[in-house]
Amino acid sequence: MSLEKQIAIEESLKQAFDEQELKNRISEEDFKMYLSSKEEVSFQKGEVIFEDGEFPKGVFIIEKGTAKLSKCGVYGKDHILRFIKEGDMIGYRSLLCGEKFQAKAEAMTEIDARFIPTTTFQHLLEVDPKISYSMMQKFAYELGESANTVAFLAQKTVRERLAEILILLEQKLGSDPEGFIQISLTREEIANLIGTATESAIRLISEFKTDKLIEVDGRNIKILNREKLIKLGHVSI
């Protein structure tokens, strides 16, 4: 999916849950019910938002910060599924399926979030077509992303996967004023994302740095040659 379409879907979800717009779309009684049940919650860096296997009690809309979803593999190693940034939502899939969480959500920075309990969230889906439609778009987008992930791991070399993941992280999370991608990842986490050993990830990052494709400052990475990375990773923008 193009970056423009991705941004449009994210903006649609953000607008759907904007409280002023929500107040104008639903009845006064429904809006009062929403206000009385929703909570403002915070998490520190490294704190677990919800655990794999826990039964969902509601959904979280990230107001500030970045989180990650991960799944523990058969050998006890976490596999990062995706990152969640400001304006995004987590917890809805398991809630709507009526099953336990299939992944762990963890704060990668300080997080401020809006928690909407299950009954309130389900009621909003019933009474507000804009919320229902934006959630359908989100499901469709993430289904496509899942298919892309399968192809990503099966068809590309590790070098190509690193190039692509750096481009996608910059697109998804943005850059700070100095141009560094707005997330600090350990070499193990990067290896996890591209499906390789930590040693291989360290070697590839060093090669990318030598080739002046990226700049590295500790755990922070800045893309120096975007066009070459796009070409190397066969990324569709």
Residue pLDDT, tens place only, 177-192: 999 999 989 999 999 8
Please state whether 208 falls in left (phi above 0), alpha (psi between -120 and 50) or beta.
Answer: alpha
Domains and CATH numbers, the chain: 3-152 (2.60.120.10), 157-233 (1.10.10.10)
Instruction: Assign 154 a pLDDT band (cuts: 50, 70, 90).
Output: low
pLDDT in tens, 103-143: 999 999 999 999 999 999 999 999 999 999 999 999 888 88
* pLDDT value for 2: 60
pTM of the model: 0.84
* Host H or E run for residue 115: strand 111-117
pLDDT in tens, 11-32: 899 999 999 999 999 999 999 9
- Check whether 152 has a pLDDT greater than 70: no
* pLDDT value for 16: 94
Positive or negative, the CA dihedral 161, 65, 74, 91 is: negative
Give the DSSP letter of residue 205.
H
| Alpha-carbon gap, residue 131 to 12, rounded angstroms | 9
Rounded-to-10 torsion of CA 129, 134, 139, 143? 130
Neighbours of 175 (CB within 10 A): 13
Instruction: Assign 151 a pLDDT band (cuts: 50, 70, 90).
Output: low
Orientation of helix 129-155 relative to helix 158-173, angle to 10°: 160
Instruction: Assign 10 a pLDDT band (cuts: 50, 70, 90).
Output: confident
* pLDDT value for 1: 52
Q: How many residues does the chain have?
A: 237
| Alpha-carbon gap, residue 109 to 47, rounded angstroms | 9
Least confident of 38-42, 55-59, 130-134, 149-153: 149-153
